[in-house]
Amino acid sequence: MKKKLILYFIALAALTSAYNCNSKDDGPGKDPKVIVDPPPPAEPQKEGTYNYKTFEKQHLAFGTGYSQTADKTVEFPKDIDQVQSIKMYVQFGCPCNIWDMYANIQAKDPKTNEWYEIGRYITPYGKDSSPLARGLEFDVTDFKSILTGTTELRIFTEVWGSDGWLVSVDFDYIYGKPDFKYSAITPILQYNENSLKGVPYGESHAFDLEKTITIPKNAESAHIRSIISGWGHATPNDVGGRGCAEWCFRTHQIKIDGQNTFQHILGPIGCADNPIKDQRGNWKPDRAGWCPGMAVPTRIDVLKNPKAGTSFVFEYYFEPWVNNMQSPAENKQAFYALSNFIVVKSDTPIEKATVKN
């Protein structure tokens, strides 16, 4: 009997051991153990300045096989959300045309195929840009959304001689935390093909200077970016023989919903202090808001209320004046070349503002 009892307990122990060995944690009713890989480390924020050369001593001239315009396709960075600012530098070398002429740089919006004026300058009288280490400097950060990846650029100089200019353009992409992660830009007005294709001043015209702008719902900041320069020697002259629109000092208005909101004073900016000195022409007297051999100023008007998700009426308004068409100059008209853009920013992905007639 004792022997049978011992055998019974041995058999029971064997069965218990076998059950424990065959049981699994992932059997019915059990949650499997899932091993999750840790997320990859975040890409470090780039730092420093990266330079991109585009046009190099591109000869712009008129006649004898030359052109006033040149186009080029370039590759810019794609990690634009890490870029704090973008600076553009323009150098111009000889042969140096003797006249002070309208010139600009444009970039194409790949979605609309529209050219955006990103900077404007007036050439000096027969003098290169060598007094400036890197040439004229322009802050073009507002155009981040199109100055990325494959980008088409265009340079233009309204030169009427076969000598012309050797134009070079390069960009500094400065990495760091931007004020807002995302931005978008939309043209409002662009009457800037050349100095004589601007808005006629002091006479009736069919140019549309009023637009309706709708701001995206998630806009956290909005501003208007403008460039204006006047051309012509139209009369009656202001005191001191100042003809319009090159010499006559004027105050322009940007109206928002019919109210004067921003002023643009086109007056002296210090032509005699230009670092490009000893030009071969009348470079020292002050023009109305520009100087030979200098960048035409970029004017930034920040909307205190970004008007997110709403619409407003924009109007560019000129100080009243009437051209009597009595100028002794060959061209008796006055013109204002305009470009105005609306820039919106946000820390979430943002669409362009819309601009309609």
Percentage of the chain beyond pLDDT 70 is: 88
Indicate the burial class of 92 (C-beta count within 10 angstroms; 0-12, 13-18, 19 or more): buried
Q: What are residue 22's phi and psi, to 5 degrees?
A: -90, -10
Question: What mean pLDDT is reported for the chain?
Answer: 91
User: What is the mean pLDDT of the segment spanning 209-214?
Assistant: 98
User: What CA–CA distance (Å, rounded) separates 21 from 187?
Assistant: 75
Would you say 298 and 227 are in contact if contact means Cβ atoms under 8 Å apart? Answer: yes
Give the pLDDT confidence of 129-141 residue by residue, as tens digits: 999 999 999 999 9
Percentage of the chain beyond pLDDT 90 is: 86
User: What CA–CA distance (Å, rounded) separates 104 from 118?
Assistant: 8
Give the pLDDT confidence of 34-82 residue by residue, as tens digits: 566 666 655 567 789 999 999 999 999 999 899 999 999 999 999 999 9
Helices (H) then strands (E): counts for the chain:
1, 21
pLDDT at 64: 86
Select which of 37, 100, 193, 238 is catalytic.
100
pLDDT at 47: 85
- Dihedral of CA atoms 16, 21, 25, 26 in degrees, nearest 10, equals -110
142 a catalytic residue: no
In sequence order, the 6+-apart residues with CB closer than 8 A to the CB of 164 are 59, 60, 61, 62, 66, 95, 97, 157
Give the pLDDT confidence of 240-266 residue by residue, as tens digits: 999 999 999 999 999 999 999 999 999
Maximal CA-CA distance, the chain:
140
pLDDT at 209: 98
pLDDT at 19: 40
Select which of 56, 81, 158, 238 is catalytic.
158
Would you say 284 and 126 are in contact if contact means Cβ atoms under 8 Å apart? Answer: no
Select which of 208, 210, 246, 301 is catalytic.
246
Would you say 140 and 119 are in contact if contact means Cβ atoms under 8 Å apart? Answer: yes
Q: What are residue 43's phi and psi, to 5 degrees?
A: -65, 130
pLDDT at 27: 43
User: What CA–CA distance (Å, rounded) separates 21 from 70?
Assistant: 81
pLDDT at 6 over 60: no
pLDDT at 23 over 70: no
What's the pTM value of the predicted model, to 2 decimals? 0.87
100 a catalytic residue: yes
> How would residue 22 be classed by pLDDT, with cut points 50, 70 and 90?
very low
Structure tokens at 111: 């979605």
pLDDT at 10 over 90: no
Q: What are residue 310's phi and psi, to 5 degrees?
A: -125, 175
Cite the DSSP H helix spans in the chain: 2-22
